[in-house]
Structure 1
Amino acid sequence: MTAEPTDPPAAPILAGDQRQRPGVVSRAVRPTGTRDWLLVATLAGAGFVRADGVRHTLEPGDLLLFRPGSPQDYGHRDDSGTWRNVWVHFQPREDWLRWLAWPALAPGIMRLRRPDLLARLRPQLSGLARALDGTALGRLDAMNRLERVLIDAADRTAEATVDPRLRRVIDHVQASPAARLDGPALAALAGLSRSRLSAMFQAQLGTTPQAFVERARLMHAAGLLQSTRAPLAVVAARSGFASPYYFSTRFRRAFGTSPRQYRHAAHRLDPAEPPGRT
């Protein structure tokens, strides 16, 4: 059994496969949530989640999702039963957000009931924790498995509900993270007022335009740190950060480590990386 950390770092992805036996009850209570998204998938037995004071049962095929900063109170339902779940703390790729508009139990707390998909999702979910072997390739494998889960589980109408003006902004940010992406520029691109664009982002993606831009830039930078040897100042500039110092500060806040340490760990642990290079 892999126990979930009590205060997980906001890493790109962290996962575990948890098996609760009768007589051993676990519960996670985080009043202010975490800095990342959290998915808890029930594979067998029963768990629970408390949302707005109401206790809901988690059954096989239930996918529980918390947005960053949302209160978390969930766990093994009772000491006479079992509960097997896969938990995943993750920083979503920007194009995933349109798949995460699930039925809400409370603001920031969502549950998707897909017992019909359990047989298809189980191999990907079970393999998530095993994929995270400490290498950059392992992280990529885990992210790809999670992406497959989200695609299979997503409501097929969810993407269609994203306003085309918002879609235009999302596509531009993802394609050009180093472009001018301040409030007026994004509003002009969407053909909306800044306040209307902000309200649309919050309603459909659960975030603000500038938080979305920063996340896109940080994820782009993380990819450059893993795949290139470009100096940090270059990585910062290519990702839309004018100041390397500000980039490092925001990167550490988001990922729990400095860009230099992140790169060093990725290359040191990747078996494809030639020895002796730092």
Structure 2
Amino acid sequence: MIIGTGQPDQSAQTTFERLPGFPYWTIGVVLRGSVTVETRGGTIVHRGPSIALTPPRTPYRIAAGELGRGWSEVWVIFAPRPEWLTLLEWPEILPGMLSLDAARGNSDFNIVIEALIEVHRLATGARVERLRFAENQLERALLLAHAINPHAPHARRHPAVRKALQAIDTRFAERLDVAALARIAGCSVSQLSHRFPAEMGTTPMAYLEAHRIERAKHLLTSSTMAVKEVSAAVGFVNPFHFSTRFRRVVGCSPMVWRLRRGE
């Protein structure tokens, strides 16, 4: 739930203090200029562009940054859905103060900022159900932030595993085997065969097949493609083999799956 948003230009004389009992999360983005943030754990300067996240009941004080000039910002105050909580595990820069600035070098950092600006635009617009639109946009912004969060589990994966996962996600329709994935990942077959299960809990080929089956389920319910066309679209060379594997994983044939979802 979104409690409020803002996108003000602040003067050099502006100060703001958040009291200890404030019950909501706050995302603050410094667009231009800099601000000094004082918390019980210390003081830090946020230089734009900068994205900070403050949990509930975290008191702090904001004033102009090191040059004593004004700044531009956008902020969002919200109560997260339960499924968002894992998306809020950002790096801690001070006790109770989180930040995404460690990902500033990522090309998607500015996309996150643009998404948060859009949250404010939607929340203050004239559209019917504007807060619902804004909340959906906030979820998108948090997902984008999660993708570049250096503390997220996926960021700690071995580079070879990340490259293999990206290949599976984008090239699943191609003829991929462990050797092909290893070449894409820039490692040997034995290295990938060891690292991938250690981090993902399954083998590369089992993961690839599961991804293909999920894509097939989507196509079966969202298109009128024939089963053999679905089979080819998700990377199975033999439609009979596809149907066999689909039945083993899902518990019914592709055609039965489609019919059940159409009921």
TM-score w.r.t. structure 2 length?
Answer: 0.50
Greater relative contact order, per chain length (Cα 8 Å cut-off, separation 6+): 1
